[in-house]
Structure 1
Amino acid sequence: RGDALPSSRPAAPGPAACEPQTHVVFLKTHKTASSTIMNLLFRFGETHNLTFALPARGASQLGYPHYFRAEFVEGFGAPGHAPHFNIMCHHLRFLRDQVQRVMPNSTFYFSILRNPVHLMESSFSYYKGTSPFARARSLEEFLSQPERFYRPLEPDSHYAKNLMAFDFGFNHNGAVSAQHSQQMLRHLEQVFDLLLLSEYFDESMVLLKEALCWDLDSVVAFPLNSREGGTRSPLSQSTAEKIKSWNSLDWA
């Protein structure tokens, strides 16, 4: 019938079309190219008229550095009003049970990681005014005797040690052991559907596109909050090893 040849065989069925994911939690970690990803989430959400879980009272973060609570979201729990949220992507310190109070069970969870050596070099430059770093004249001086500068109970101290572990909700001052590291990894695997790597940003965007079933234009990114290459100082092997030792949980 029509233009089909009598002997032609039916075409093999193609892969089932996926549905674009519209319930997303992005754990926005620090100094990992996360602002660039947040920007593309804003763009996708605005294009598709999605609702963001925004910080209450005009704040820029969801209660950070305190553990996240659902009440940190604007409109959550308002009398006679039950807002439906699609995307959560502002800075927060992750607490799974509280996030699940806000987002539906079908939510896709993802985040981004960075080599702790590069991360700490960037953090020292960006957070130079915070208490642990402000007392040191250089990153090398800080790492020579970190206990001399680092005081765990001071505000903003988390920027100076195991920052990724802190953002993911772990005790960044906790003991380091192979068993503890394995427990952390198992927890991440259970909670997060995808973990990206900032050192492989383009490849990560391809993985994100496939995982979310978004089109290519939705993950085309323009770098935000990145430093010029001339402001970065090469680190010696000795300094890199000290960073790994000081940030043992992030390195694990």
Structure 2
Amino acid sequence: MSYLANMVPQTKTICLQSKRIIVVIPLSLYVILAILGLLNQVNLPRLKPLYKSNVRSATGLYRSFAPLAELEWGDMSNNNSNTSVSTHEPECSPKQKIVFIKTHKTASTTTASIFERYGYYRNLTFVTGKRHVLSFAGKFNRKNVLPFPKMKKKTFDILANHARYDRKEMSLLIPNAVYITILRKPEEQLESAFGYFEMYKTINKTDGETPLEAYMNDPKKYWKKLKMWQLSRNGQLFDLGFEHEFDEDGVKLEGAIQDLDEELDLVLISEYYDESLILLRKLLCWDYEDILYISAGVRSSSHRFQKSDELIAKIKKWNHGDVLLYDHFNRTFWKKVDAYGKDFQRDLNFFRRLNQEVFDQCIDSKKLDRKDTREDKFVLKNNTERCTRILRADIGYTKLIRTYMKRKYG
């Protein structure tokens, strides 16, 4: 068995969950074992094909092989065998109680779809509202959630829709959850929100300046007149529960960031998205397949603004709280990378190759969906179930999840 583990060092070769053990081996080896009559001796009742993939070890020592097969042992509780499978990771159980606090324009929609895909296809329960936004101007409250009487007051598994952070309220619905969020450089996040939500439509600019420059030249003049103005200053802190009345209170800012540091289990960094997912995978004890992604969309050029060094300085001054927030969690992020150990780069390289394979297999690089003028969306070149699942975005999953929750628990 140790030979099998070494064949695909980056694939989880054993998973102890509900007294089942899952082992991934080449299909050809399964056939050989069957011919030798060994399968009856070890009682391997089922063979399930996995997706076809040219899997290769991150070290490059082994050639790729496909297809793979998944062998499932039945209940091992009465089996006195000491048979085991060596792995490159300590044994752990997948974590499935998750609160993901979405922040606007930080790759949070792509991230939310990862959690939604994972939970939906495992029949987990979701905190769900009438829309995919549970709360925005006010903090999250249980009243934002649709009633599900058949749950009989049981708690939920996952919250992944937009909801302003309120730890007490969220904990009542998902106790003992893993809390995760994502941050982006404040100058990039503000420019993205300003363009995507078309805040600029209320700006009276002069010739030779962009709407974003006009706003930053006199932000207090326009601030609360903007559409979704709450996001135009310290928007990430706002999503994480901080109130704008304290935007210039240094003590309050530092205290809020310290509280978040103690309460959040992982803060992803948008600029290091793949690295973030490697940390996420380890924290949640998930498989690489669970964290595969295709970006939900790329903002169109018509909704972008150039940023000079002078403009960036003004944005960072106006968003001082978000700068403090980002800098703090950027530091702690790299501490977590260091703590991951020497295998981090190997795992990252393997994941990137696997994710690129998915993109190449699924996406038509010559086409874009431009129905929404604000962003360019990728188009599938084939409608396989796997590609459809990975590309489906937050709103699409929310509709599926809401229908499922109403049908089963409504």
Q: TM-score, normalised by structure 1?
A: 0.85
- Between the aligned partners of 1:174 and 1:113, the Cα distance in structure 2 is 20
Instruction: Assess if the C-alpha contact under 8 Å between 2:195 and 2:303 holds in 1.
Output: no
Instruction: Assess if the C-alpha contact under 8 Å between 1:75 and 1:83 holds in 2.
Output: no
- Larger mean CA deviation between 179-188 and 142-151 belongs to 179-188
Tell me which stretches of 4 or more aligned residues in structure 1 moved more than 4 Å: 11-15, 228-231
Instruction: Assess if the C-alpha contact under 8 Å between 2:182 and 2:268 holds in 1.
Output: yes
Give, in angstroms, the shift of residue 228 of structure 1.
4.4
Percent identity, aligned pairs only, is 31
Q: 1:218 aligns with which of 290, 306, 311?
A: 290
Give, in angstroms, the shift of residue 115 of structure 1.
0.3
Tell me the SS of whatever aligns to 1:112: strand
Q: 1:110 aligns with which of 172, 177, 180?
A: 180
Give, in angstroms, the shift of residue 31 of structure 1.
0.1
RMSD: 2.5
Give, in angstroms, the shift of residue 176 of structure 1.
3.1
Matches within 5 A, 1:232-247: 232-247=304-319
Q: Deviations over 1:69-118 (max 9, x none)?
A: 11211226x5982143110011011111111111122x100000000000
Partner amino acid, structure 2, of 1:199: E
Q: 1:80 to 1:179 in 2, by over 3 A?
A: closer
Gaps of 5+ in 2: 1-84, 206-210, 325-410
Matching residue of 1:134: 202
Q: 2:91 aligns with which of 12, 17, 20?
A: 17
Give, in angstroms, the shift of residue 232 of structure 1.
3.6
Tell me the SS of whatever aligns to 2:93: coil
Q: 1:249 aligns with which of 294, 307, 321?
A: 321
Tell me the SS of whatever aligns to 2:179: strand
Q: Deviations over 1:21-43 (max 9, x none)?
A: 00000001100000001111111
Matching residue of 2:155: 84
Instruction: Assess if the C-alpha contact under 8 Å between 2:100 and 2:181 holds in 1.
Output: yes
Give, in angstroms, the shift of residue 204 of structure 1.
0.5
Matching residue of 1:4: none
Partner amino acid, structure 2, of 1:146: P
Q: Relative contact order (C-alpha < 8 Å, sep 6+): which is higher?
A: 1
Q: 1:81 to 1:237 in 2, by over 3 A?
A: same
Instruction: Assess if the C-alpha contact under 8 Å between 1:133 and 1:149 holds in 2.
Output: no
Matching residue of 2:47: none
| Larger gyration radius, structure 1 or structure 2 | 2
Matching residue of 1:3: none
Matches within 5 A, 1:1-252: 16-55=90-129, 58-75=130-147, 78=149, 81-105=152-176, 107-128=177-198, 130=199, 134-137=202-205, 138-151=211-224, 156-176=228-248, 178-228=250-300, 232-252=304-324
Instruction: Assess if the C-alpha contact under 8 Å between 2:281 and 2:291 holds in 1.
Output: yes
Give, in angstroms, the shift of residue 139 of structure 1.
0.1
Q: 1:12 to 1:149 in 2, by over 3 A?
A: closer
Q: TM-score, normalised by structure 2?
A: 0.53
Tell me the SS of whatever aligns to 2:261: helix
Tell me the SS of whatever aligns to 1:150: helix
Q: Deviations over 1:136-178 (max 9, x none)?
A: 44100010011111138x8732021110011000013414355
- Between the aligned partners of 1:52 and 1:79, the Cα distance in structure 2 is 14
Gaps of 5+ in 1: 1-10
User: Which structure is higher in strand share?
Assistant: 2
